[in-house]
Chains A and B, each alone.
Chain A
């Protein structure tokens, strides 16, 4: 009978053995056949319309209009309240999405394939900064951009990726870590490396020069472009560890603006939820805590695989940006996360910590014992839909999720 420690080593090994490749961009309906009309996937654990926060509702309204399931935003809201749409977490369909995380049949999704285990995970393409649907934006400008992404950018990226046979992500991220990225709040290096790798293929497979220029410009101006790639990669790495009996390793952390949810390998698909906490951070000029929306997004999947807040030591510039202290204290964050994990990732190392691997494999037992909760680097959205990002900060996963998970896990082991 395997011990918990052994099961955890197994879970960690599966996560570390993954070989994620960004292989394609395909319409969501093709990637996820179960995604039918009026199905709206969202970030975070399951939630109904009544409990959704402002930005999430705004996004739902916007995507309903985009897909043609509602005449306008008001109609969309009425239909949502009447139960016309089927809401489900991205996580339940092999997908993830940042912030509001809207995934519906017509959107193009990035496809990451884990060559080691053969599984795939999906995420929509990052819309850019400012007034976008992931912050609840839903006006004509937002929807027009989504249409352009579906019609031009998505297919262009798909052609380029197929032409090069996919992009290996593990070495790209290893390089990004040495260049100041942590893959959650800072993705500029990886975004640049990816564009550099794809540019020739984008050019060769372009339909015309104007579209090529528009695509290069769109990607090139978005420092956070790689975030969505990193997220899909995180999901692709953790899915093979999702159902390991006797393991206390966390396989997902996710928020919907109201609830924070985690999943644990030894309890399979069960969500353990608690109210999200408020991020603590720095605000853009003109904004403050009173404007902030509670924590949102599937992006905590990157912390689940040892990046983001866990790799803060690689990105000292982020520490100041997220208002978490002095850059010289960045290593302290990573060291703290080292207290609650099963091991470290030898493929992703941090120069400033003498090339120590990023702490990987959150163990709920260690979280409960030490009271050290996973630290997540996050953007802060305005609580009003459509305004956009108002700041960046750190947020802790609520201890209650881990405590409940521990009790449930103990019951499955017969030791409650």
Chain B
């Protein structure tokens, strides 16, 4: 009979990545079924409850408390695991200050220490993110909110307050930005140049900036707006401000705008502002067709096309044709980046192939009840990441879905994204090759690699590792999806 054990530590806070690593280590111990070390916010308690590891002590914890929760096969295993968890938590960590980094405890003191600070990058739990953002705004800083799980109404309110002060709020759920050449959160190393990017998706920004870099051009700035900025409730506040900023920026010549399709009224407002600019815009409302665009704007249905268009490349490069060994079989897309999952669905839809997904784009099917159909999974979606690291940070969480796909005789193609850059695994290609197994008995593996040679994981070497293991590497996520279409006998 499984045993649930909780311990609660008052007023204790640790970096959530540190906690996740400890959770994974404890969960891997003999006899342990599940483990989670999390701050006691309501959202986190939901996660622990859903994972079946929240007991009465954990329920009683407050938002500032740390909950150590686990479920094990018996009392002895639980006690051993809890002792290990506490030891890992209390192990002396190298002092941040000894690493040369300036450290304070409050935003206010950080600004005292660096009076010309102009941007706060906030990655605290979503429950607390807007309060911190307000402190930063009050001190005259622009804000980037990496945190997610921020209520929509709070996003709208804080963006209105920032707008009144002339300050920018990137996010919430903004995973990537590049400002003045500085890589913020999960960004790649790309050359400075004259293409500006405004993106509602972090991985979308990563793909476009890397493709532009590999196309020989550079990025002036990449401004993240967060995934909901184009909702009616928010009204595109950040997008419009970003357009103003890039419009006025002498270093920016071309602008790319990436988002999923917004509601009509918001789209009209944004495009009306685009029309007022003298700079050429590339509009990528992923999958949207028939947009009424102003004269200075052109449409792109995919991230790859948007990157090409922004640097003046118009011809479509013919992708290398893969072997048709997968004709008649199914495609299983296993994506770390939600935007890549959407893009793949769009490519399939345009090729007339039906696909189902846990995050279906308009025209695609939900997963429930879907059978004998191509499946595109966003493994970074909430249902997969509750209490577990995001696959971009910890690729190993993709291992089980990959193993399941490899073992499924109906699957002929596995479609994958591999994302490089700051914050990503130190060797994603190596890690992936480790789980793929022998190539003869495998379905086709088709992957795209988002990154550049200047990244901490140089792209060419990552691509070589995959190619050597028999993986077909496409130039972009869109091209990978097209290759998958061809491989199963469709026409892209």
Contacts and interface: CB of A to CB of B under 8 A. Distances in A.
Contact of A369 (B11, B95, B106): B106
B104 interface: yes
A351 interface: no
Contacts of A370: 105-106
Interface residues of A, number: 9
A346 to B, nearest CB: 15
A85 to B, nearest CB: 41
B25 interface: no
B11 A371 contact: yes
A372 B103 CA distance: 14
B296 interface: no
Contacts of A86: none
Interface in B1-47: 11
A372 B95 CA distance: 17
Interface string B58-97: 0000000000000000000000000000000000000101
Interface in B92-116: 95, 97, 104-106, 108-109
Contacts of B95: 332
Nearest to B11: A371
Contacts, number: 15
A366 B97 contact: no
A339 interface: yes
Contacts of A366: 106, 108
B92 to A, nearest CB: 11
Contacts of B97: 332, 335
Contacts of B11: 371
A406 to B, nearest CB: 15
Nearest to A340: B105
A366 B107 CA distance: 11
Nearest to A366: B106
A338 B95 CA distance: 18
Interface string A368-408: 01111000000000000000000000000000000000000
A303 B185 CA distance: 40
A225 to B, nearest CB: 36
B200 to A, nearest CB: 33
Contacts of B108: 366
B48 to A, nearest CB: 23
Contacts of A332: 95, 97
Contacts of A338: 109
Nearest to B13: A371
A343 to B, nearest CB: 9
Contacts of B105: 339, 370, 372
Interface-centre pick from B95, B105, B109 (highest chain A CB count, 10 A): B105
Contacts of B106: 339, 366, 369-370
Nearest to A370: B105
Contacts of A369: 106
A350 to B, nearest CB: 16
A369 B64 CA distance: 12
Interface string A318-337: 00000000000000100100
A372 B108 CA distance: 15
A332 B105 CA distance: 13
A366 B105 CA distance: 10
A358 to B, nearest CB: 16
Given A338-B109, A366-B108, A369-B106, 12 more contacts: A332-B95, A332-B97, A335-B97, A339-B104, A339-B105, A339-B106, A339-B109, A366-B106, A370-B105, A370-B106, A371-B11, A372-B105
Please name the 5 residue pairs, one residue from A and one from B, whose CB atoms are nearest each other, closest first: A339-B105, A370-B105, A371-B11, A339-B109, A370-B106
15 contacts: A332-B95, A332-B97, A335-B97, A338-B109, A339-B104, A339-B105, A339-B106, A339-B109, A366-B106, A366-B108, A369-B106, A370-B105, A370-B106, A371-B11, A372-B105
Interface of A: 332, 335, 338-339, 366, 369-372
